[in-house]
């Protein structure tokens, strides 16, 4: 095909589509209750799936499964009672990532996944340092003029079947991956995205763990008239 899919960096990257389901307790960040990933790599034979994983996650006591969460996902407190803890589930996922490989996470509205990963970074330090691609800005560039860019709208546009278990992590990862591949094909055909660097510039999101911290927030104490003044 040439262009994007001939780019050496693009071919060296494993694109890991990721989705969390979560509960949102008052006064706390969202707590994951399910995670799914699907890894894809492009080579001479086209796209290949290189791995997938799904796990329920037992939320902490301060983040119980609410009726609204059950109505959306079908998951109940009983489903999660014996599920792995965040440390167990995300630790096992984290060990799937090799330190010598190139990855990008792919998500629909990637800010949601980025925030959950950052807040759980102690359990998944490798995952927390992987940058992301957001399908929404990519879709806005490739398919301008849609009424909105929600996942269901993109599924309808690309005639991708609506899964019966929509809002479960594994189902959402599968259809997000299908959308992503459609968008990559459009980006390739447009000729405006010719490399992984172009793709990242268009739809990339830096992982929070990779965002530089402002030095002035942690300035060293200054001396005033022989006395040491601590930062406020």
pLDDT value of residue 223 = 47
The total number of residues written for the chain in this structure: 232
Q: How many other C-beta atoms lie within 10 A of the C-beta of residue 131? A: 16
pLDDT value of residue 212 = 80
Name residues of the chain where pLDDT drops below 50. Answer: 1, 222-232
pLDDT value of residue 105 = 98
Name the token pair of 64.
């119980």
pLDDT value of residue 99 = 86
User: Which residues have a Cβ under 8 Å from the Cβ of 127 and sit 6 or more positions away?
Assistant: 90, 93, 94, 97, 105, 117
Are residues 4 and 193 in contact, defined by beta-carbon separation less than 8 angstroms? yes
Tens digit of pLDDT for each residue in 201-231?
Answer: 999 999 999 988 655 555 555 444 444 333 3
Which CATH architecture is the domain 3-229 placed in? 2-Layer Sandwich (3.30)
φ, ψ dihedrals at 53, nearest 5°? -155, 140
pLDDT value of residue 211 = 86
pLDDT value of residue 216 = 54
pLDDT value of residue 134 = 98
Q: Can you give the pTM of this predicted structure?
A: 0.90
Are residues 179 and 185 in contact, defined by beta-carbon separation less than 8 angstroms? no
Beta-strand runs (E) in 24-131: 31-43, 46-56, 102-107
pLDDT value of residue 232 = 35
pLDDT value of residue 221 = 54
What is the separation of C-alpha 184 from the centre of its chain, rounded to a whole number of angstroms? 17
């Amino acid at each position: 095909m040439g262009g994007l899919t001939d780019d050496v960096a693009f071919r060296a990257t494993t694109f890991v589509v990721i989705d969390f389901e979560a509960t949102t307790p008052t006064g706390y960040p969202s707590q994951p209750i399910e995670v799914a990933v699907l890894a894809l790599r492009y080579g001479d034979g086209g796209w290949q799936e290189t791995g997938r994983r799904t796990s329920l996650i037992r939320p902490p006591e301060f983040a119980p499964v609410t009726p609204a969460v059950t109505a959306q996902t079908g998951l109940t407190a009983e489903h999660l009672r014996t599920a792995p803890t965040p440390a167990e589930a995300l630790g096992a996922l984290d060990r799937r990532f090799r330190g010598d490989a190139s990855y990008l996470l792919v998500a629909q509205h990637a800010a949601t996944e980025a925030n959950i990963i950052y807040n759980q970074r102690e359990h998944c330090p490798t995952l927390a340092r992987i940058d992301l691609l957001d399908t929404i800005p990519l879709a806005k560039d490739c398919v301008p003029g849609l009424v909105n860019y929600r996942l269901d709208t993109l599924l309808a546009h690309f005639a991708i079947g609506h899964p019966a278990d929509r809002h479960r992590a594994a189902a959402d990862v599968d259809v997000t991956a299908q959308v992503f591949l459609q968008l990559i094909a459009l980006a390739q055909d447009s000729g405006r995205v010719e490399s992984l660097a172009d793709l990242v510039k268009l739809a990339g999101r830096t992982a929070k763990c990779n965002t530089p911290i402002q030095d002035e927030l942690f300035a060293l104490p200054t001396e005033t008239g022989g006395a040491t003044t601590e930062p406020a």
